[in-house]
Amino acid sequence: MRRRLAAGNWKMHGLSADLDEARALARDTATARCERLICPPATLLAPMAAALAGSGVLLGGQDCHHTASGAHTGDVSAAMLADAGASHVIVGHSERRSDHGETDDQVATKAAAAHAAGLVAIICLGETEAERDRGQTLAVVSGQLAGSLPDSASAVNTVIAYEPVWAIGTGRTPTEAQIAEVHAALRGALQRLLGGEGAGIRLLYGGSVKPGNAAAIFALPEVDGALVGGASLKAADFAAIVSALDSSG
């Protein structure tokens, strides 16, 4: 059984005062059955770990360097994230791929570094609108998956997030049939690449998930949860998404 996961990606949002939102989320979802994860900016990891101690809400980073330490000004290693209280790290988010030119190869080395530090890697992939319009969605996401998965990937240490680039922060989402089609293709590809382990890897959908559309998305086959951006910043919205996930599983 794949445990369902509601993951919030705060992106470059969040100051100390926003720890109250995390506390409210923990309080309002205290009886949740699904896993709850917040990925705040790196500056908030340690204080959020303290604020959420004992709550069961997990913490993740938003990126890590592919080496454990060294002369890399401004970068953060997976071991540093773990030391600050993280159990997870997002790698290969489309904003990293576009803002920083990250390639599938680099994403795979980051995921491997996360695994070496004992973190769960949430590997993100998704097509652009132009790629979808050209009918290339399944080829693009399958290629990203094969290129971004390190040899160390297992059902325990890896989560895949399908985030169509054109759905991120836009209020637009694929149709339910489109989400189901991509998730089925990703499940098939995971099983071809990893055998039995591929059946156990969780597949999240991300891109404009809100309280109003979460239940319909979570009802789809092969959707094991969500990676939520904007709606994860407000405890009430994220709690409603957590509740929809619990109700669907």
State in angstroms the smallest separation of the CB of 216 from ligand 13P.
Answer: 15
C-alpha pair distances (Å), 22 with each of 7, 39, 177, 238: 12, 11, 33, 10
**Contacts by 96-105 with C-beta closer than 8 Å and gap 24+?**
96/63, 98/165, 103/147, 104/143, 104/144, 104/146, 104/147, 104/148, 105/147
In the annotation, is 222 catalytic?
Answer: no
- Shorter beta-carbon distance to ligand 13P: residue 142 or 208: 208
d(CA 125, CA 93) in angstroms, rounded, equals 7
Length of the chain: 249
Residues of the shown chain interacting with ligand 13P in the complex, contacts defined by CB under 6 A: 9, 93, 163, 168-169, 206-209, 227-231
State in angstroms the smallest separation of the CB of 247 from ligand 13P.
Answer: 20
The active-site residue, picked from 21, 35, 127, 163, is: 163
Structure tokens, 30? 């205290």
State in angstroms the smallest separation of the CB of 64 from ligand 13P.
Answer: 16
State in angstroms the smallest separation of the CB of 173 from ligand 13P.
Answer: 9
In the annotation, is 131 catalytic?
Answer: no
- Shorter beta-carbon distance to ligand 13P: residue 64 or 228: 228
Q: What is the DSSP letter of 161?
A: E
d(CA 164, CA 7) in angstroms, rounded, equals 16
The active-site residue, picked from 93, 95, 115, 222, is: 93
- Shorter beta-carbon distance to ligand 13P: residue 79 or 242: 242
Q: Give catalytic residues, as residue numbers.
A: 93, 163
